[in-house]
């Protein structure tokens, strides 16, 4: 390594340490251990190795850095500030303060240069694997013999907690299987957990574990620039598989009394210890000090990075001129272009009647795959059951990324983190599928997708007790409401094939995650729903599917397969001389976004006895039916039996509902 470069990187590393401990101390909150332990790695990655352009954080062919160990956020913020991202020194000083752009854990929607939202350990690792897979797909799709459009890498800094969380096992196994030779995971191996030494809870051979996954494994002294440089040059020149770099570091390195202990993990050093640490590291005593040598170095680097992007843009221009069809797909994917006649085209799809919700969605997915090059996805080993396979396209396979279908294997949580990672590349509308009850395995990744506005689609099937004989272990009852409690997540439970079509339109238009919950059992196409266009019906979240003849005696609200039941109950009530309104309620979240006037037109005023019919828990429905309303719901878990027997057992039939309503109204 050039001596001048080494000295400059050492100065950058010192500055990362100084900014980090000052910010944590000023906030009286945070994690100083990782920034001190990984300062050399940060200096090398951001100051030398990575191809990126801080003045355009969305440069498509940039190298990506994911901080999976998100508690060490000041390390990342220091690196971003120094290298020139839109993150001022004032924001560094406001670390962890209200409405700052330097929150306690990195949030991609808040801070320029933060690739993904991290904090819950291991998820950033999964995001990085998804990003690496996405980039391999883009490279195989768009690179030609003459022009290489995508040749970037994904770097991920992970800690002991990330490695211990089960999700890292899921995604590492798949990354090794797929031979993702653009993924470099750096393991900050400092042998310290929040509660104490690592050896008190873990004694695995991590190196052998990653060799068994199919990674190439390197071990280095994470504080030695010569070792860091030689290892990463070797990776740059010869990488053939995913790489796992075990960087042996000292947590809180430089802190005389806390280095190498869990006391440097998760709390400020203290004013006296900050002073001692700065003295030990030879840092300027002035808080938030940035040496002119560091500033001028990055000014020069930014010019070179801007030139690099300009050269890439010129390459893309020439490539596009030579490959107009590829350019068309490139622009469609980059801008998530949707056909102006998407609704018309989806309505042309021939779908059997009756048909299970999962099969209706499968038919829609086939058409979307043909129309939209940005649609990629797969299943957690259930594609034959959750109907996520796009038949016109092959599987993605080890070293072969021209397919559109991803076999995630039995790795639900890993799947969730990976599609999040794919989505942040800005070129995909990824989807994934499993049974609704297994969404619990994915919940934390779904939550982060909602927090971060990732446009992911979840196709969750086997939506109720009516899946039948598999029994209560597989029959969801609390899951509709559980998912509806996540802010920013659109949850659809369509009643028939028409509502399935419209749910997909909503999902593709939404800059955020969408759950589409689908039945296993066959459902008829309801003539009433089919009369509503997207804008008139499902885009409102809830709509009047059947109007009353005069002032209603009952208003029935239902989702999914229970909308058909609502029509049956309405028919019985009308024979008794009652007036009935039926409200299809496929998406609570969209209904809440409507104007007060619209909501009042559907549910306002005196609309008779209010009834919800949904084969799940009643939590949430009382907002719409009121305390005097009737919730036809599940009050416990299901049973193993044919679906018709379950309907009788739990009162989901017209006779049972009619008896309840007439008893209550008498």
CB-count exposure of residue 32 (10 Å: 0-12, 13-18, 19+): buried
Among 115, 165, 412, 562, the one annotated catalytic: 412
Helix (H, G, I), strand (E, B) or coil at 311: helix
Distance CA 442, CA 417 (A): 8
From residue 349, how far is each of 352, 378, 387, 500 by CA, in Å? 10, 22, 16, 12
Q: Distance from first CA to last CA of the chain, Å, rounded?
A: 88
Cis before 354 (ω within 30): yes
Distance CA 38, CA 264 (A): 13
Provide CB contacts within 8 A for 443, sequence distance 6+: 482
Number of Cβ within 10 Å of residue 5's Cβ equals: 15
Residue given tokens 């560094």 in the structure block: 92
Phi (first) and psi of residue 554, to 5 degrees: -140, 145
Our measurement of the distance from residue 533's CA atom to the centroid of its chain's CA atoms, rounded to an integer in Å, reads: 30
Phi (first) and psi of residue 23, to 5 degrees: -65, -45
Is residue 195 a contact partner of residue 161, using CB atoms and an 8 Å limit? no
What the block records as the tokens of 656 is 């049972």
Question: Helix/strand/coil (H, E, C) string of 144-201?
Answer: CCCCCCCCCCEEEEECHHHHHCHHHHHHHHHHHHHCCCCEEEEEEECCEECCEEHHHC
Q: Does 350 qualify as catalytic in the annotation?
A: no
- Determine the length of the chain: 666
What is the secondary structure of 260-299 as a DSSP string?
A: TSGGGSSS---HHHHHHHHHHHT--SSTT---HHHHHHHH
Does an H or E element contain 234, and which? helix 225-238
Is residue 635 a contact partner of residue 622, using CB atoms and an 8 Å limit? no
Distance CA 337, CA 375 (A): 11
Provide CB contacts within 8 A for 591, sequence distance 6+: 540, 541, 542, 585, 599, 602
Distance CA 286, CA 284 (A): 5
Distance CA 147, CA 143 (A): 6
Is residue 388 a contact partner of residue 431, using CB atoms and an 8 Å limit? yes
Q: In the 8-state DSSP scheme, what is residue 618?
A: -
What the block records as the tokens of 118 is 């991290």
Residues annotated catalytic, as ranges: 412
């Amino acid at each position: 390594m050039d001596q001048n470069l080494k000295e400059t990187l050492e100065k950058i590393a010192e500055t990362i340490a100084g900014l980090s401990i000052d910010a944590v101390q000023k906030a009286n909150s945070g994690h100083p251990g990782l920034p001190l332990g990984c300062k050399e790695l940060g200096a090398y990655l951001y100051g030398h190795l990575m191809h990126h352009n801080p003045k355009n954080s969305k440069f498509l062919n940039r190298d990506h850095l994911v901080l999976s160990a998100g508690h060490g956020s000041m390390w990342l913020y220091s690196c971003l500030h120094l290298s020139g991202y839109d993150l001022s020194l004032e924001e560094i000083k406001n670390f962890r303060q209200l409405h700052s752009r330097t929150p306690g854990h990195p949030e991609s929607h808040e801070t320029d240069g933060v690739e993904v939202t991290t904090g819950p350990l291991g998820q950033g690792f999964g995001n990085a694997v998804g990003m690496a897979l996405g980039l391999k797909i883009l490279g195989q799709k768009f690179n030609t013999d003459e022009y290489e459009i995508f040749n970037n890498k994904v770097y991920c800094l992970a800690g002991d907690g990330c490695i211990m969380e089960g999700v890292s096992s899921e995604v590492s196994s798949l990354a090794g299987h797929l031979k993702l030779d653009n993924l470099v995971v750096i393991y900050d191996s400092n042998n310290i957990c929040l509660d104490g030494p690592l050896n008190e809870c873990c004694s695995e051979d991590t190196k052998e574990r990653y060799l068994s996954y199919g990674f190439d494994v390197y071990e280095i002294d994470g504080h030695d620039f010569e070792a860091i440089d030689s290892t990463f040059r070797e990776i740059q020149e010869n990488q053939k598989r995913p790489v796992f770099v075990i960087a042996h570091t000292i947590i809180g390195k430089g802190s005389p009394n806390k280095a190498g202990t869990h006391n440097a993990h998760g709390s400020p050093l203290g004013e006296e210890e900050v002073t001692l640490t700065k003295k030990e590291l030879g840092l300027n005593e002035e808080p938030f000090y940035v040496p002119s040598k560091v500033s001028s170095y990055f000014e020069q680097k930014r010019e070179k990075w801007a030139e690099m992007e300009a050269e890439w843009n010129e390459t893309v221009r020439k490539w596009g001129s030579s490959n107009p069809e590829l350019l068309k797909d490139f622009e469609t994917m980059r801008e998530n272009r949707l056909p102006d006649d998407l609704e018309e085209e989806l309505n042309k799809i021939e779908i059997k009647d009756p048909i299970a919700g999962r099969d209706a969605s499968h038919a829609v997915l086939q058409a979307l795959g043909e129309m939209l090059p940005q649609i990629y996805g797969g299943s957690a080993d259930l594609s034959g059951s959750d109907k996520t396979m796009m038949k016109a396209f092959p599987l993605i396979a080890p070293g072969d990324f021209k397919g559109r279908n991803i076999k995630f294997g039995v790795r639900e949580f890993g799947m969730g983190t990976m599609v999040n990672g794919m989505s942040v590349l800005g070129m995909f509308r990824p989807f994934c599928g499993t049974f609704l009850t297994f969404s619990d395995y994915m919940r934390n990744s779904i939550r982060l997708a909602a927090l971060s506005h990732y446009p992911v689609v979840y196709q969750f099937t086997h939506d109720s007790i009516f899946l039948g004989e598999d029994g209560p272990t597989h029959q969801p009852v609390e899951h509709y409401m559980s998912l509806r409690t996540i802010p920013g997540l659109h949850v659809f439970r369509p009643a028939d094939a028409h509502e399935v079509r419209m749910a997909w339109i909503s999902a593709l238009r939404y800059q955020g995650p969408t759950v589409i919950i689908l039945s296993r059992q066959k459902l008829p196409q309801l003539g009433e729903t089919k009369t509503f266009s997207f804008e008139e019906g499902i885009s409102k979240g809830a709509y009047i599917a059947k109007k009353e003849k005069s002032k209603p005696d009952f208003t029935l609200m239902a989702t999914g397969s229970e909308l058909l039941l609502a029509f049956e109950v309405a028919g019985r009530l009308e024979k008794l001389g009652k007036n009935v309104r039926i409200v299809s309620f496929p998406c609570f979240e969209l209904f809440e976004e409507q104007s007060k006037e619209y909501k009042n037109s559907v549910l306002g005023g005196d609309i008779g006895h209010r009834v919800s019919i949904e084969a799940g828990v009643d939590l949430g429905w009382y907002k719409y039916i009121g305390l005097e309303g009737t919730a036809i719901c599940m009050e416990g878990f299901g049973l193993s039996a044919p679906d018709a027997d379950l309907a009788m057992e739990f009162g989901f039939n017209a006779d049972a509902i009619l008896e309840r309503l007439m008893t209550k109204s008498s």
